[in-house]
Amino acid sequence: MESLEHTRFITLNYPNLQGLRTIPLGLLLMGLTIWANRQHGPASDLTLPITATLVCLAIYVFISQYYDRTYGKVKRIITHSELLISASGAILALTAFILDTRNVIEVSLLGLVFALAFVFTGFWYWRPVKLLLSINVIIALVLAVFSIFPLTGEQEWWRLIGCKSSLLAFTFLYGLSCLICGVIAHVYFVRSLPKTQESL
């Protein structure tokens, strides 16, 4: 029964567990943050970010082909509630971004939305796997703590990590989190697949 549950879990999350797919996104977000951090005033030359986006897209295609050729393809069943939650998350993130740029409140709403995204991913997808769930919850906690940091009196904590604004700091942290989660999910995925048996 346990092994059937395991097969069920791996199949349900087959593409999601192929964590290396999130590496290009993580690298791109981190790279763009570093680039934006070095700009003084509005950027006039966008060659570097455009090239970086194209390179990351190419890496994504390469990684997808690696997974398809090595592990095959599973088409997931996507439920209506999953689509609804994803769409709501996107709207929430956009709203948080707009409010953050206008400095409406002291706490970082975008950071809180990112934290919420990690909590949601952890409990929605990874609940049966303690390792993946814990990583998501830890990252969510770190993001949430940084989001409410200004309330403690530390107004510009992002300067401590060399960022010009909280938006850049959260984009960098989100990118880094994507990298960490991606690598861990990939290692779990590869290790949890059964070894080929000669006969059953």
Partner 1 sequence: MNRVFIEIASLDKLIHEPARLSLMTALASCKSADFLALKRLTGLTAGNLSIHLSKLEEAGLIKLRKQFIEKKPNTQVQITEKGRQLIEDHWQQLEALYRNAQEWLPD
Residues found near partner 1 in the complex (CB under 8 A): 1, 3-4, 7-8, 10-12, 14, 71-77, 193-200
**Residue closer to partner 1, measured from CB, 11 or 134:** 11
Contact 175, 27 (CB under 8 A): yes
Residue 99: which residues within 8 A CB-CB, separation 6 or more? Answer: 105, 109
CB of 4 to partner 1, least distance (A): 5
* Calpha distance 149→67 (Å, rounded): 40
**CA–CA dist 186, 146 (Å, integer):** 27
Pick between residue 6 and residue 164 the one whose CB is nearest to partner 1: 6
Query: Between residues 3 and 47, which has the closer beta carbon with respect to partner 1?
Result: 3
Closer residue to partner 1 (CB): 42 or 194: 194
Residue ranges with strand state E in 101-185: none
Q: How far is the CB of 135 from partner 1 (least distance, A)?
A: 23
Q: CB of 2: closest distance to partner 1 in angstroms?
A: 11
Taking the least distance from each CB to partner 1, the nearer of 172 and 188 is 188
Burial of 4 (C-beta count, 10 Å sphere; 0-12/13-18/19+): exposed
Q: Could you tell me if 118 and 136 are in contact, meaning their C-beta atoms sit under 8 angstroms apart?
A: yes
CB of 127 to partner 1, least distance (A): 15
Q: How far is the CB of 61 from partner 1 (least distance, A)?
A: 14
Q: Between residues 21 and 179, which has the closer beta carbon with respect to partner 1? A: 21
HSE of 147 in the Cβ direction (CA atoms, 13 Å)?
Answer: 21
Q: How far is the CB of 14 from partner 1 (least distance, A)?
A: 7
Q: Is 99 exposed, middle or buried (0-12, 13-18, 19+ CB in 10 A)?
A: middle
